[in-house]
Amino acid sequence: MKNGFNIWHLLIAFSIFTCSWNGIAQERYWFGNQEKKKPLLEVSVRKSGPYFGIQQGVYTYAELGGEMQFKKIKLKKPTTHGVYLGAEYNIIHNILGFQLGAWRKPGRFDFTYGLQTALRSDFERFRFGVAPAVGYKVFGFHLMAGYMFHTPSDFVQEINTLYLSLRFIVVNDRKTSFKKREKKK
């Protein structure tokens, strides 16, 4: 069964999603919905710019796109969220792909957890896919490993199912915002 859906696909997806939301679930279980003390000053940063990269699986794809990141600056557990839209191309097999995705980094030195949708075409037919991904981001580089669940078909076979992707974002727009907490009277 070359492109069929089996139990291993389900187990891989379940384990990636379980790991990504495990921290949130544990915090709510142990601490409940306690009201947290807000800091005197909330700092957030929005960064955006183009990215370029390479995706390697069975086949090699060049990637190009744009990404926007949102970060809440805190001493403990700064969180970062990112969204991206890009294109990928395999010159050898003439396959063009478009991807839309989002990721979340729950702490300063934590892994990133994300989800991506993709549309791949050989300029005659296309396939759609969804991929959970786990990665690590440092100094503008973002290394991600993912597993793409594609729609079953007998065409457009030259696409990656299990892949590693290395991207570099060139930040050309950065906006920092400060919000002061109002004192209660």
Distance between CA atoms of residues 128 and 115, nearest Å: 14
pTM: 0.75
Higher per-residue pLDDT: 64 or 29: 64
Count of CB atoms situated within 10 Å of the CB of 141? 14
Q: Is 74 exposed, middle or buried (0-12, 13-18, 19+ CB in 10 A)?
A: middle
Distance between CA atoms of residues 109 and 145, nearest Å: 17
pLDDT at 77: 83
pLDDT tier at 1, thresholds 50, 70, 90: very low
What percent of the chain is modeled with pLDDT above 70? 76
Number of residues written out for the chain: 185
| Average pLDDT over every residue of 91-103 | 94
Distance between CA atoms of residues 151 and 4, nearest Å: 9
Distance between CA atoms of residues 178 and 43, nearest Å: 5
pLDDT digits (tens, 9 = 90+) for 103-158: 999 988 899 999 999 999 989 889 999 999 999 999 889 999 999 999 887 777 88
pLDDT at 152: 86
Annotate 114-132 with b (16+ C-beta within 10 A) or e (fewer).
bbbebebbbeeebbebbbb
Contact 104, 20 (CB under 8 A): yes
pLDDT digits (tens, 9 = 90+) for 168-183: 999 999 998 887 767 6
pLDDT at 37: 66
Distance between CA atoms of residues 54 and 67, nearest Å: 15
Contact 20, 113 (CB under 8 A): yes
